[in-house]
Amino acid sequence: MIPLEVIYEDHDMIVINKPAGIAVHGGISVSGKTLVDMLLEKFPEIRAVGDDPATRPGIVHRLDKDTSGVMVVARTQESFELLKNLFKTRQVEKIYLAIVCGTPKQKIGAITFPIGRLVKNPLKRGVEIPSRIVRPDGHPSVIRGSREAHTEYRVLKSGQTYSLLELKPKTGRMHQLRVHLKALGSPIACDRVYGGKHICCPFPNGRQLLHAQSLAFTFPGMGRLLFEADPSEDFTLAQELMT
């Protein structure tokens, strides 16, 4: 098991670099040790913190199981409420790195398709695209409960097979970055849920190459805070292999 990497801690919060391959908390389809298990071992005081401390103690926001990077965890109930409100009111600036298949036509842009649940598979998300626009796979998705979603992107490096993108999500919908990049025609490399039938992936059985690089927000009494986390070895190696 990869040890828990703590980037920062004080009375109010714990900031970690979440490893890929570990679910944030337990659930029906989750097996093995979770991030919450690791946090409770090192910070047992968070056991009573949160809206659902029995399942998600201290957890203010989440990353997908195979996404790595910066996460902030509340250490007290007061800080939980403050952090939760910052995320809810979109006062947290989030930057991700992603290695994607191909290269977007525009080097800088924004993806604003609303996101909802797929009717045929509620565990997956899809985008609502105007009828005049054709999906990359040629088949419109039937979704329900669509909500506003906004992702800004910038191509940092491009090649024939892969590109490195910087992503700035302005909203926090489930699977937002993965779904938006799929709709853009450049799904995240190794994403076996949204990558399509012919998934591009530099490694056999590699994980989706998405990394939460930084979080920035203003916290009462502490001013502006910025936390960053370096990508894991597989992400860095994939960058070196980009062609």
Q: Is 146 found in the same domain as 39? A: no
Catalytic annotation on 12?
A: no
pLDDT recorded at residue 133: 38
Tell me which residue of 204, 203, 177, 172 sits closest to 188, measured CA to CA.
Answer: 177
Q: Is 83 found in the same domain as 108? A: no
**pTM of the prediction?**
0.91
Q: Is 80 found in the same domain as 160? A: no
**pLDDT, mean over the chain:** 90
The CA-CA-CA angle for residues 148, 70, 11, to 5°, reads 110
pLDDT band at 83 (very low <50, low <70, confident <90, very high): very high
Does residue 228 sit within a domain?
no
Residue 99: give its domain's CATH number.
3.30.2350.10
Q: Is 199 found in the same domain as 79? A: no
Spell out the residues 6+ positions from residue 138 whose beta carbon is closer than 8 angstroms to its own: none
Q: Is 239 found in the same domain as 136? A: yes
CA atoms within 13 A on the CB side of 170: 12
Q: Is 167 found in the same domain as 48? A: no
Q: Which of 37, 52, 64, 234 is catalytic?
A: 64
Q: Is 53 found in the same domain as 119? A: no
> Which residue, 68, 89, 110, sits at the end of a domain?
89
Q: Which domain holds residue 165?
A: 94-214+233-243
Q: Is 67 found in the same domain as 130? A: no
Does residue 224 sit within a domain?
no
- In the chain, how many domains are there? 2
3-state secondary structure of 77: helix
Q: Is 164 found in the same domain as 55? A: no
pLDDT tens-digit readout, 127-140: 876 543 334 454 55
Q: Residue type for 16, please?
A: I
Q: Which residue has the tokens 């989030």?
A: 94
Q: Is 173 found in the same domain as 72? A: no
pLDDT recorded at residue 129: 67
Does residue 128 sit within a domain?
yes
